[in-house]
Each structure stands twice: as C-alpha cells, then as structure tokens.
Structure 1
Amino acid sequence: MKAMILAAGRGQRMRPLTDHTPKPLLPVGGQPLIAWHIQHLAAAGFSDIVINHAWLGDKIEATLGDGSRYGVRLAYSREKSALETAGGIATALPLLGDSPFVVVNGDVLTDVDFSALRPTLAALDGTRHLAHLLLVANPPHHPDGDFGLLADGHLSGNAADGIGLTFSGIGLYHPALFAAIPPHQPAKLAPLLREAMARGQVSGARHHGLWLDVGTPERLAEADAIAKGWLPA
C-alpha cells in the first residue's frame, strides 16, 4: 500500500517564512513538518510514499532525498505550478499504481494512527466504494465545516446533514475516483468528492485525536510546541 503527501502549496499565509522555504520544510519539533508524516506513515507500514511539489520543490527533494533515512522509498511528482488537490493526485497516479492509497495534506500536524486505516483502505473496491475521509471537529477558523457524517457512515456533501465536520486533509482513495481527471491540469478535490458522495460512494469517520491545520505562523508555533513534546527526553 502506498501513500501520498501533498506538498505543492505556495503557503501564502505563511509569508515571509515561505518566500525561501517551502511550507512542508518549516521546522516543527526540530525537524521539517513533512518529516512527521513520513515517520508516522513508515511506522504504519507505508514504505512507498509519493510527494508532489511545485514551489521550491528542489529544496524538498534535496532535504528528504530518497527517503532511506526514514526507512521508506520516496518518489516525487513534480508540478510546474500547483495543480490543486485532485489535479495533483491525478498527475501522480503513475507513481501510485492501481491499488487504493492514502493521501495526507502536508500542512497538518496529527496523531492519526495510519495503521488502523489499512483495513478500510483495502476495502475500497473502485465501484461502490471510492473514498474514505477522516473528519475533525470544526476549528474556529472553519466553523461551518465541509461535509456531513451520516449515521450509516456515509458522507454527505452538505455539512448540514448528519454531523457537520471538517475534512482533515487525510483521505483514502481508489484510483478510479480520479479516472476522469486529466493529468497536468488543475482540478479541485471537493467537487469530485461531492459527486461521489451523491452516489453513496464515500464513507467517513471522525478523528477525535490531535489535528492542527498549520496554516499560519501562529499555528506553526503551536505545532512546534506540540511536536517538541513528542521528542524523546
């Protein structure tokens, strides 16, 4: 099973920090933010990880290398300019293969147990079940949420249905979800997901643990303090 970390964003809200450093490489707990994802995925048995990049992507590759220091194999999907989430995933499909995969936003900090997601990932069949999303309580900066978690575990594209929650940026996907998305073209993920939700092909679950959208300098400082608590004494 493979995983993908989304790392192509410009990080406008982080400027000037991101003028010369790509957001995934900003330091959190003594190492690049993206390294926490790589380590957590490696611990869960995801040894093949694809990273897409656009802004200052050469620095990401130079810093992370082939992944051997983390015990994984890293492959890079290079974008001339950011292709949005669905466009980036569709472009990376040749590196991800034909089996379901995990995708993680590179700009969040979380304690999600990726190993617990493996059975759900394996159950994505490419027809009746195309995706499974992890959702979190709506943060102050996004009070209206994204999707509705229904009693049967399916998701609605309307956050007013069921329990309205925020998409964590962590999803399990079957490649078939992206079959109609042309590579190397910008495409947003939310409309694609809502279409599949309307067909009953997307499930979800609520993550009750740590989740932080590291989107501003203030939340970067918060993430740094949290991650320092994860370091060995």
Structure 2
Amino acid sequence: MTTNWQKVIITPTTSIRQALEIIDKEALRVALVVLGCDTLVGMVTDGDVRRGILKGVELTDPVDKIMNKSPLSANVCLSTGELKKLMQERQILSLPLVDDEGRLVGLKTLYDTLTVDKRENPVFIMAGGFGTRLKPLTDNCPKPMLKVGGKPMLEILINNFKSHGFYKFYISTHYLPDVIMDYFGDGSKFDIEITYVHEEQPLGTGGALSLLPDSLPTEPLIMINGDILTNVDFAKVLDFHVKQKSDATMCVRDYEIKVPFGVIEGEGHEITDIVEKPTYRYFVNAGIYIISNEIIQSLPSNEYLDMPTLFENKQLSGNKTLKFPIHEYWLDVGRHDDFNKAQTDVHELGL
C-alpha cells in the first residue's frame, strides 16, 4: 500500500490550484476527495484539471467542479494480484482502498503491485514422500520433482512464493533427497535461501517441524505439501493469521458431494423427509498451514505427528486454531489423472 496516501487527501472545497500542487508534489498523479474523516466522494487527476481548464473552469474554483464523483475503489482485503488485474483491466494507475464499511483506508498504485517487499517468514515445504500412487513416474524421481509444463512442481511452487516476497525456504526430504538437493543446491541460483531438513524416518507433517534448526526465524511459518499446484496468495493467508492472532491456521477447500439418489431421513421406521439428489458441502484440509514459532518450539523432537492431530492437541491446550478458506486454483497432484490435468492447467494459470 502506498505509504504517503494520506498526503493526497483533500476536501470538495479545496481549490483546483491546491489540488494540482498536491498532485504534482506527491507524484501519485491523483488526489482523493474526502468528506469528514474517511468518506471517499471523488478523485482528481491532472487529466481532470486539464479538461476543466478547457471548459473554462478557474484554478481558484473548488475541485468538486471537476472531480470524478464516482471513483472506482476496491476492498482492502483483495490480494495484490487481484488489485493489479483490476487496474490493468480498467487501465487505471491507482485505486483507493476501502474497508467493509466503505471507509477509505489506503491507496494502491499499479507500481505498488509490481514491486514486492521481502518477507522474513520461513517457508517449509514437505518433499519427502514416496509418491506411490504415481509409480512408475516416481521410481527414480521424488514426486515434487516431476515436471509440469517443463518445470519440477517444486520449482513452480517456490516461484509462486517468490512472487509474494518469500525467500527463506526449508525443504523436508526423505525419498531420493539427492535429486532435490542437486537441482536446487543452496538456492542461490534461484535468488533464495534453502536449508534442507532430512527425515531418517517419516515423521508426518507435524513431526517434521521438530527437525527445523534453532536458527529458524521467529516469524510465523508457512508449511505446504510439495505436490500441490496452486496460485494461492500466500501473503494474504499470512496476513490473516497475524491479524487474527492465530497460533495455527489451516487452509481449507470447499468440497461438495452430490448424491445421485433421493436421500431418506427419518427416526426409526418413520420417514421425516425426502431430499432429492442433495449436495453436501464440507471444508477439507488443503495441505497449507501457518504455524507460529511458539507452536514449533513446543513440539517433542523426532516424534511422529500428523497435522490434524497437532491442531487437535493445540486446540485442547487452549491455543487459537483457525481455518482460512481458499478459493483460488488448487490441485493435489497425487494420482495420474491429477498429473495429466496439471499439464494443461499450468499453462492456463501462467505459473
């Protein structure tokens, strides 16, 4: 978000000359016209000023004579990628941000969406599985290293994280670890840092957390299975975890089951309802987690633990455990049909 957006706030009675001076001084090419403290009622660009002058408006006149009174705005919860797409589609250079109550809370420029701030949060990728269901493709290759669209799935995943500013990676290995380590090395050729965590015996996704080194950054950690193809905005998930003060956050997907028959409900022999071909919807685990450092430090070393059990244990211990629904593209490449689908999807997604 543009840090000096408050400096371009003006009122409807501000003169056109003053608005033009602010637009020129702050180099944002726009002034935000606000009523009260936070109600956006218009926007002014240098183009609006030029068009006003051509119509005979004086520079001493108030900006409400020339301002755009129906400016496009966006909810502050939208991801950087979504904001970028919206601005490109509308061919605009800046976009006011509002909260759920419609209050002005920021300004995003197209330039902001093209620059990515580095994030110190560690990313832990689970890449040690055997990939049994994808044999014979995985006979001599770890599943995350299978190529989709000409690149290993693990590289596609890392590139997605990089696009959101993440650069500290930890990769859990077990099956054919040399294939992964020989390809990525220490990560320097990919402009990232990689630390490998080798499991002598499979410890489950939760147990592998206990093998992370003492030098691990204390910021919340993102954990993800290495066989997932997705364009999830990981920064948005992390921001939710921090804002909600969560200890452990699980990303979930909406999953529906369509029953092709009439479902009979009842008590004993009595029929109470007949539902024709119903659809049931559930949230399912998407294999993406945000784990706070305190949780990681509390885990017993080198003991098997899966993530659902970890969440159950921490919930019983009074920790705050939350779910975060994701609606972006997501594919668990676990079967041959999934792998074939990924070959097509990766081009459409531009990953």
**Coarse TM-score class (shorter-chain normalised):** 0.7 to 0.9
Name the amino acid aligned to 2:253. Answer: V
Q: How far, CA to CA, are the matches of 1:21 and 1:214 in structure 2? A: 14
- From 219, 222, 225, the equivalent of 2:344 is 225
Where does the alignment leave 5 or more consecutive residues of structure 2 unmatched? 1-120, 258-280
CA drift at 1:231:
4.5
Aligned to 1:119: 239
Query: CA separation in 2, counterparts of 1:164 and 1:23?
Result: 28
Aligned to 2:255: 138
Q: Who is 1:187 aligned against?
A: 305
Give the direction of change, closer, same or farther, for the CA distance of 1:13–1:110 in structure 2 (3 Å limit).
same
Shift of 1:7: 0.7
Partner residue of 1:52? 172
Query: How far apart are 1:164 and its partner, in Å?
Result: 3.0
How has the CA–CA distance of structure 1 residues 229 and 95 changed in structure 2, closer, same or farther, with 3 Å as cutoff?
farther
Task: Determine if contact 2:238/2:290 at 8 Å carries over to the other structure.
Answer: no
Contact 1:50 1:95 in 2 (8 A): no
2:186: which partner in 1?
66
1: distance between equivalents of 2:308 and 2:193? Answer: 29
TM-fit CA distance, 1:204: 1.6
* 2:198 counterpart (60, 66, 78): 78
Q: TM-score, normalised by structure 2?
A: 0.55
Q: Distance between the aligned counterparts of 2:249 and 2:238, measured in 1? A: 11
Using CA pairs under 8 Å that are at least 6 residues apart, name the structure with larger relative contact order, 1 or 2: 1
Q: Which runs of 4+ in 1 moved over 6 A?
A: none
Q: Mark the CA change 1:122 to 1:215 in structure 2 (over 3 Å): closer, same or farther.
A: same
Q: Distance in 1 between matches of 2:181 and 2:252?
A: 30
Q: Given residue 29 of structure 1, which amino acid in structure 2 is its aligned partner?
A: G
Q: Using the alignment, how far apart are the partners of 1:55 and 1:95 within structure 2?
A: 25
Post-superposition shift, 1:6? 0.8
Residue 148 of structure 1 corresponds to which residue in structure 2?
A: none
Q: Which residue of 2 aligns with 1:106?
A: 226
Q: Which has the larger radius of gyration?
A: 2
Q: TM-score if structure 1 supplies the norm length?
A: 0.81
Structure 1: gaps spanning 5 or more residues: 141-162
1:5 aligns with 2:125: yes
CA contact (8 A) 1:47 1:71 kept: yes
Q: Provide the C-alpha distance between the structure 1 equivalents of 2:233 and 2:221, rounded to a whole number of angstroms.
A: 15
1:34 equivalenced with 2:151 (yes/no): no
Query: Once the 2 structures are TM-superposed, how far is the Cα of residue 221 of structure 1 from its aligned partner?
Result: 0.9
> For residue 166 of structure 1, what is the aligned residue in structure 2?
284
Letter in 1 for 2:303: Q
Task: Tell me how large the CA RMSD over aligned residues is.
Answer: 2.1
CA distance in 1, matches of 2:302, 2:256: 32
